[in-house]
Amino acid sequence: MPTPTHRLLPLVLSLLLLFPLPAASQKSDTADDILRLAPYAAVVTLKAAGVESRSTWSQLLVSNAIGGATTVGLTYALKHTISEERPDHTDHRSFPSGHAAIAFAGATALHKEYGHHSPLVSIAGYALATCVAADRVCRDRHHWYDVCAGAAIGILSVEFGYWLTPKIFPEKPQSAHLPVTLY
């Protein structure tokens, strides 16, 4: 019999797949600003609801803090170094796409934490990230290569975070978490 947390997984996936619908009707960046964070929101929501994930809370937070900081750091360092003009000519911060980088970083975290439940989890996260990236290109905020570079930065940064975390903060054996009794 399915538990309440197993019923929550399809709900979160459905919401992830439905999020791009409002973005298609928006002209401002507001929808993109929210949608790029949806995969990360799904990770935290599923973890808080008790759905079995790959990592403990501490591992999840450290891995994604490293991945997120790497994503944002690389993206904005490149934006201010390369100075690529946007297709809509509003500024020279087009390369790489920060929205795509963050969306794909979140999708990668969702895949790493919950992809073992179903391939649909990973598909939903990456589909949403792809919609964010495609929307940025369709609205002339980025060139196609800006969003491809952003996607690569996001994915590789989170992979780096998940690779580095156990090397810096190895998990203690379960017995180390037991309370100590003093006589």
Q: Where are the domains of the chain?
A: 7-21+32-45+54-170
- pLDDT for the residue numbered 180: 44
d(CA 116, CA 169): 23
User: Token digits for 163?
Assistant: 């690779």
The dihedral formed by the CA atoms of 37, 40, 46 and 51, expressed in degrees to the nearest 10: 160
Q: Does position 152 have pLDDT exceeding 50, yes or no? A: yes
- pLDDT for the residue numbered 13: 53
Q: Does position 22 have pLDDT exceeding 80, yes or no? A: no
- pLDDT for the residue numbered 171: 72
Q: Does position 124 have pLDDT exceeding 60, yes or no? A: yes
- The whole model's pTM is what? 0.80
Q: pLDDT grade, residue 33 (50/70/90)?
A: confident
- What pLDDT digit, counting tens, does each position of 57-80 carry? 999 999 999 999 999 999 999 999
Higher pLDDT, 4 or 171: 171
- pLDDT for the residue numbered 170: 82
Higher pLDDT, 144 or 17: 144
Report DSSP letters for the chain, one per residue: ---HHHHHHHHHHHHHHHTHHHHHT--SSHHHHHHTTHHHHHHHHHHHTT---SS-HHHHHHHHHHHHHHHHHHHHHHHHHH-PPPTTSS-S--SS-HHHHHHHHHHHHHHHHHTTT-HHHHHHHHHHHHHHHHHHHHTTSS-HHHHHHHHHHHHHHHHHHHHHHHHHSPPPPGGGGSPPPP-
